[in-house]
Every structure is written in structure tokens, then in C-alpha cells.
């Protein structure tokens, strides 16, 4: 049982985490903290947490566990604001998509009597905001913890336990390794999706309307990814710069090779490349990571409740 | 009512078309023709058409409408084989993803008493083969016809009518314009997805297994697209070379600009780019093109029938 859990930043991830914890029945009191009073009102109206406040001091006082679920770029400022009010033995964690930069920004500001266990749930949808959250988001998904070597085991176990309440599976690795893997599986794909949809946005207006009308299988999926929260993703790229630039370089080389094959009509090279990528899809399906629970569209959700 | 419709190449599209026509009750006899005897056996075992044969002459004799649903690279050879046996007044059409190259490869081989109306249904899934087909695939999707100026109106009307039986909506445009629009909405996204999954395939083996394990939202979607039929896509790129290279050049410039913004920490540029792409997603949802009927996995389908 956990007495008081405070979630700071009540967007898709924070809201889903709160709802999953509530459903588990193992947390006595869940506090939502958000800079926006409007978000706090939505939390209370929809019963997404037991309490909602814009006052960080009030939010973290007496909290056993504090979860930073704000964009990566806001982590340092929030940590500075809450550090003086963290109780003895409090465990701080986060949900950021970048782990090395976050650790360096958060850890130095903590008092000795509190611990920081960085975490990243590999889950999400293209929707943002508290009403986009749903309690099944983390079921059968991975949560990666990247504790520093000096982290107290007790704190690692607490964060493991609370994430297990959501149905997630836990892995531990170094922050640098996390950032490389996620650079490939998440950050680069988002960058590419943003680029390709951006390229379409720059087209002449008449062509653009036809692109929308005939948005076939490929492009439609890219637009879904490119509808993700811009602030969150800006911060990811600014804070995982080196891994993203490294993997982007490899990608550009591979794309140039395909471009060259198209220009010179090298069908054999194209076929070989397109054939080998099927294997990875098969492996993902076998790993049980191919399907997601259906995302909750906050616009539809708010229509349904209004 | 149509007397005899022959579909040559019985993959995802050909099979779905046959099933949709059958369901409409407006076609007396549907013939499937495929180079593979195995495919013909599957067609008969599963009742996907009234008749299945590897003999092209037998397939097209007496057919009112003949549909070429083979990869773009096979269109010319098939047309040459069937041309002598097309009946007086027969209308030939196709389902290729490239229209200018197909028109130039097919039209010159036709006898004067037959007409060719190129067509492209903007629909598909990542699965291939006759068992991947399902009759709802074209419902509320667009089918683009690209008839030459000299095409007889009667033939255009026939192809319009038969596609309308599947629940599709019809548009007419020039082959060149089709190839540009589809280059953006379909061909480039597939090329990019193949590239990004290919880049992951080239990673060191230990990292690769983690990429599969933690395949987050972005990468997972790319692997689905990159699981599409390699022969079909090789032919698309070889036959829509100029439009693809042109749009690829724009994409590369836009990606370089984002890469530069990441390197120099230009958060404002990143945010602006990520913000503007949301509008296109909204427009696609409003155009009713955001959702698809659930794809039919042929492996599951064959398990279900065996």
C-alpha cells in the first residue's frame, strides 16, 4: 500500500498513471499537480485524482512518491521548486522519454533525504491532455528504470512496485543505453513522421488538399504520429541530441542508398531491402508488442461526458 | 449487371475486389487468373471466385471486364499475352499504384476493339495474398481513374459502375497528376518506412533485439508499413521514379533543416514545425480518411479455415 502519491504534470501519461493506480486500489490518496488551473478543474470534474492543485508545495508535502510527468525541458525548474518540501524518505521519479539529460538536471537539486529513480514507460498515444488518459495504457508495456549506481535499493523497489500496479513490466538499464535504444525506436520515427508531414504542409495549396483527400495507408499513419505533443517532442530532441544525430546519420546513408537504387533502376537492391525488413515486423508480433489498446480521443471523451 | 469479370493476379487487391463484387450480387461470373497454381487452389477451396485458372487465354475469353491486378512490372507481359483473346467491346482496367508508366506499357498492345481505363484503388493493408483480401476493403475509399483523352466514355462509365459496386468513391484525373499525389501520400512514406526499419536491421545484434523488445509507438507503425509486399513496391519505385525522386529531395531538405535545429538547439524551429503538422491530421480526420477496416491477417485466416 502507498499512502500519498503525487503526480506533477497531468497530461496523457500522468492521467493514465493516476487512473491505473486508482483502479488498483493500492494507493490511498492521489494528488494531481498541474501549472494549469483548467487542467486541475478537469481532473476534479472527471474524478481523475483525489485532489488537484497548482500549488507545488501543497502537492508534494507528505507525499511518499512524487512523479514528474512534465515535458523534459521543465523537469529542472519543477525539481528546484519542490526540493525543499520533499519529506524524509520521499522517492522522486519521472516519466520522461530521455533519461541521461533528465538525471543530470534533476538529481543535483535533491535533498539527501530523498531519492531519485528515473523511469520511462514505453507507452503513449497521439493524443494529449488529462482526458486522453486511460487506465489500461501501461498494461503489458515496458517501463525502463535507469537508477544511478548509488541509488538506494529500497527506492528502486518502491518504483518497481508502483509501476507493477499498472500492469507494466519492469526493466533496468543505464540512462545512456536507454537513450540510444529509444533514439532508434521512438525519437527518430517521430522526427521522420514530423518531417514527412511537414513536407506535405509546404506543398502548394491545391496539391495539399488532394494529399489530405487521398491520404493512403502510409501517409495517414505518419500524420497520426506527427500529431503528438509538440512541446514534449521539442524537449526530447533537444535533450537526446547526440543519440538522435548519430542514428539520423545512419538513416540518411541508408535512404541515400535507396534513392540511388531508384535513380539507376536497381530493382534487385530495392527488393532485397524491402524483403529483409519483414523479419523485424514478425519478431515484434512474436514479442507481443504489435498491438495497442485503442487510444482515447479526448475530444470524443469530452463530448461523451458533456 | 455484368456477365463475366476476370481478375488477373489474385493477391490482396484482386481477392478483395472479387469478394466485394460477389457480395454485390451484380456480377454473374467472376474468373480468377493467377500464375500460381497454389493461389488458384486457395481461390477454389475458399470460394473466392467462381473459377480459377493459370491459363490466361481461357480466363479472358468472353470477359466483359478484365482487371490487371499484378505488380506494375508484370503489366506489360500480361497485356501482350491476353491482347489476342480480348472480346469485341471488352474493357481492360488495372489496379496499379503507378498510372503513367502502366498506361504507356499497356495501351499500345491493345486491339482497337478493346478499351483500357487505368484505375487505382487507394486502399490496402500490409498483408499479401488471396486470403488477406476482404470485401469491405474499398468501402468509402477513393478509386482514381486516369483515362486517356481518347478513351470511350462508355468504357469509363463501365469501370466507374463496377467500382461503385464495392462501396468506393470515384475520381478522375490525369496519370501524371495521380503519380505526383500518390508519390507524396503513399510511395514516399513506404520508402521512408522501409529505410528506417532497414536501418534498425543493420544494427548490432544485441541492440536489434532490444529495438524489437521496446518497439515504441513510432517504430512499431513503421514496421507494419515496411511489411508490405516487396515485389509490388520495387515496381512502384522503378515506375514512378521522377515523382518519387522529386518529393524525396524536398523531404531530405526538410529533414536536414530539422537535423540542424537539433544540432544547434533551435527549440523554436522544432516547436513551430511540430505544431503545424497537427493541422493536416485534423483535416484527414475531418475528411473521414483516418480509420480503416481492420486488416485480415492471412495466417490467422488460414488457421481459421483449416
Q: What is the pTM of this model?
A: 0.86
Beta bridge partners of B221: none
Chain B residue numbers with beta carbons less than 8 Å from the beta carbon of A200 are 184-185, 280
Name the band, by pLDDT with cuts 50, 70 and 90, for residue A304. very low
With 0-12 / 13-18 / 19 or more C-beta atoms within 10 angstroms meaning exposed / middle / buried, residue A150 is: exposed
User: Does B184 reach chain A within 8 Å, measured CB to CB?
Assistant: yes
User: Does B265 reach chain A within 8 Å, measured CB to CB?
Assistant: yes
Question: Do the Cβ atoms of B197 and A277 come within 8 Å?
Answer: yes
Question: Do the Cβ atoms of A211 and B237 come within 8 Å?
Answer: no
- Our CA-based measurement puts residue A148 at a distance from the nearest CA of chain B, in whole angstroms, of 21
User: Does B260 reach chain A within 8 Å, measured CB to CB?
Assistant: no
CB A197 within 8 A of CB B168: no
Residue A302 has pLDDT above 50, yes or no: no
List Cβ neighbours of B295 (8 Å cut-off, separation of 6 or more).
B125, B126, B127, B132
User: Does B180 reach chain A within 8 Å, measured CB to CB?
Assistant: yes
More confident: A170 or A224: A170
Residue A67 has pLDDT above 70, yes or no: yes
Task: Provide DSSP, chain B.
Answer: -EEEEEEES-SHHHHHHHHHHHHHT-EEEEEEE-S-HHHHHHHHHTTSSSEEES-HHHHHTT-SEEEE-S-GGGHHHHHHHHGGGPPTT-EEEE--S--HHHHHHHGGGS-TTSEEE-EEE----S--SGGG--TTTTTT-EEEE---TTS-HHHHHHHHHHHHTTT-EEEE--HHHHHHHHIIIIIHHHHHHHHHHHHHHTS-HHHHHHHHHT--HHHHHHHHHTTS-HHHHHHHHHHSHHHHHHHHHHHHHHHHHHHHHHHTT-HHHHHHHHHHHHHHHHHHHHTT-S--PPPPPHHHHHHHH-
Mean pLDDT, range A189-200, rounded to an integer = 92
Task: Provide DSSP, B240-299.
Answer: SHHHHHHHHHHHHHHHHHHHHHHHTT-HHHHHHHHHHHHHHHHHHHHTT-S--PPPPPHH
- DSSP 3-state assignment of A125? coil
User: Does A273 reach chain B within 8 Å, measured CB to CB?
Assistant: yes
Beta bridge partners of A65: A5, A91
Name the band, by pLDDT with cuts 50, 70 and 90, for residue A37. very high
Mean pLDDT, range A229-251, rounded to an integer = 94
CB A200 within 8 A of CB A219: yes
Angle at the Cα of B209 from the Cα atoms of B208 and B210, rounded to 5 degrees: 90
With 0-12 / 13-18 / 19 or more C-beta atoms within 10 angstroms meaning exposed / middle / buried, residue A174 is: middle
| pLDDT tens-digit readout, A127-139 | 899 999 999 999 9
Question: Do the Cβ atoms of A270 and B222 come within 8 Å?
Answer: no
CB B63 within 8 A of CB B31: yes
Question: Do the Cβ atoms of B215 and A185 come within 8 Å?
Answer: yes
pLDDT of residue B303: 40
List, in order of start, the domains of chain A with CATH numbers. Answer: 2-173 (3.40.50.720), 177-286 (1.10.3660.10)
Mean pLDDT, range A224-247, rounded to an integer = 93
List Cβ neighbours of A5 (8 Å cut-off, separation of 6 or more).
A21, A27, A29, A30, A31, A63, A64, A65, A66, A67, A162
Question: Do the Cβ atoms of B217 and A198 come within 8 Å?
Answer: no
- Our CA-based measurement puts residue B159 at a distance from the nearest CA of chain A, in whole angstroms, of 19
Mean pLDDT, range A22-42, rounded to an integer = 97
Strands A119-121 and A142-145: antiparallel
pLDDT of residue A162: 98
Interface test with B, best of A176, A198, A225 (most B CBs within 10 A): A198
User: Does A127 reach chain B within 8 Å, measured CB to CB?
Assistant: no
Residue that is written with C-alpha cell 480509420 in the block:
B291
User: Does A188 reach chain B within 8 Å, measured CB to CB?
Assistant: yes
pLDDT of residue A306: 31
Give the whole-angstrom CA distance, residue B167 versus residue A278: 31
Residue A126 has pLDDT above 60, yes or no: yes
pLDDT, tens digit only, all 306 positions of chain B? 899 999 999 999 999 999 999 999 999 999 999 999 999 999 999 999 999 999 999 999 999 999 999 999 999 999 999 999 999 999 999 999 999 999 999 999 999 999 999 999 999 888 889 999 999 999 999 999 999 999 999 999 999 999 999 999 999 999 999 999 999 999 999 999 999 999 888 887 778 888 888 886 678 888 888 888 999 999 999 999 999 999 999 999 999 999 999 999 999 999 999 998 888 888 887 877 666 555 666 665 444 333
Name the band, by pLDDT with cuts 50, 70 and 90, for residue A303. very low
User: Does A269 reach chain B within 8 Å, measured CB to CB?
Assistant: no
Q: How many other C-beta atoms are found inside a 10 Å radius of the C-beta of residue A188?
A: 24
Chain A residue numbers with beta carbons less than 8 Å from the beta carbon of B226 are 274, 277-278, 280-281
Chain A residue numbers with beta carbons less than 8 Å from the beta carbon of B287 are 212-213, 215
Angle at the Cα of B273 from the Cα atoms of A294 and A292, rounded to 5 degrees: 15
Instruction: Find the helix or strand (DSSP H, E) in which A65 lies.
Output: strand A65-68
pLDDT of residue A40: 98
Mark which residues 33-52 of A lie under 8 Å from B by CB: none
Considering only alpha carbons, which residue of chain B is nearest residue A187? B218
Average pLDDT of chain A to the nearest whole number: 92
* Torsion-angle region of B184 (φ positive above 0: left; ψ -120 to 50: alpha; else: beta): alpha
CB B157 within 8 A of CB B69: no
| pLDDT tens-digit readout, A258-297 | 999 999 999 999 999 999 888 888 888 787 766 655 566 6
Q: Please give the C-alpha separations between residue A133 and each of A94, A300, B30, in angstroms, as whole numbers.
A: 17, 12, 49
Q: Report which DSSP code applies to A9.
A: S
Question: Do the Cβ atoms of A195 and B254 come within 8 Å?
Answer: yes
With 0-12 / 13-18 / 19 or more C-beta atoms within 10 angstroms meaning exposed / middle / buried, residue A234 is: buried
Amino acid at each position: 500500500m502507498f499512502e500519498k502519491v503525487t503526480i506533477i504534470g497531468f497530461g496523457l501519461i500522468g492521467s493514465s498513471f493516476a487512473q491505473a493506480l486508482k483502479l488498483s486500489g493500492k494507493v490511498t490518496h492521489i494528488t494531481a499537480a498541474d501549472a494549469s488551473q483548467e487542467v486541475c478543474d478537469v481532473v476534479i470534474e472527471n474524478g481523475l485524482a483525489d485532489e488537484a492543485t497548482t500549488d507545488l508545495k501543497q502537492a508534494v508535502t507528505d507525499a511518499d512518491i512524487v512523479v514528474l510527468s512534465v515535458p523534459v525541458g521543465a523537469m529542472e525548474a519543477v525539481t528546484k521548486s519542490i526540493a525543499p518540501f520533499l519529506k524524509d524518505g520521499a522517492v522522486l521519479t519521472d516519466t520522461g522519454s530521455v533519461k541521461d539529460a533528465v538525471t543530470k538536471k534533476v538529481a543535483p537539486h535533491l535533498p539527501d533525504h530523498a531519492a531519485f529513480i528515473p523511469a520511462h514507460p514505453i507507452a503513449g498515444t497521439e493524443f494529449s491532455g488529462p482526458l486522453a488518459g486511460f487506465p489500461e495504457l501501461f498494461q503489458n508495456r515496458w517501463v525502463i528504470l535507469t537508477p544511478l549506481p548509488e541509488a538506494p535499493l529500497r527506492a528502486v523497489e518502491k518504483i518497481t512496485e508502483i509501476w507493477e500496479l499498472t500492469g507494466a513490466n519492469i526493466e533496468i538499464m543505464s540512462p545512456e543505453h536507454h537513450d540510444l535504444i529509444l533514439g532508434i525506436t521512438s525519437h527518430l520515427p517521430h522526427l521522420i513522421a514530423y518531417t514527412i508531414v511537414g513536407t506535405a504542409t509546404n506543398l502548394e495549396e491545391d496539391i495539399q488538399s488532394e494529399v489530405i483527400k487521398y491520404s493512403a495507408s502510409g501517409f495517414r499513419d505518419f500524420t497520426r504520429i506527427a500529431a503528438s505533443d509538440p512541446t514534449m517532442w521539442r524537449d526530447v530532441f533537444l535533450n537526446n541530441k547526440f543519440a538522435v544525430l548519430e542514428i539520423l546519420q545512419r538513416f540518411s546513408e541508408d535512404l541515400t542508398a535507396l534513392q540511388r537504387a531508384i535513380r539507376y533502376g536497381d530493382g534487385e537492391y530495392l527488393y532485397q531491402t524491402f524483403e529483409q525488413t519483414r523479419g523485424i515486423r514478425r519478431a515484434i508480433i512474436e514479442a507481443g508488442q504489435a498491438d495497442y489498446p485503442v487510444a482515447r480521443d479526448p475530444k470524443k471523451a469530452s463530448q461523451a461526458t458533456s
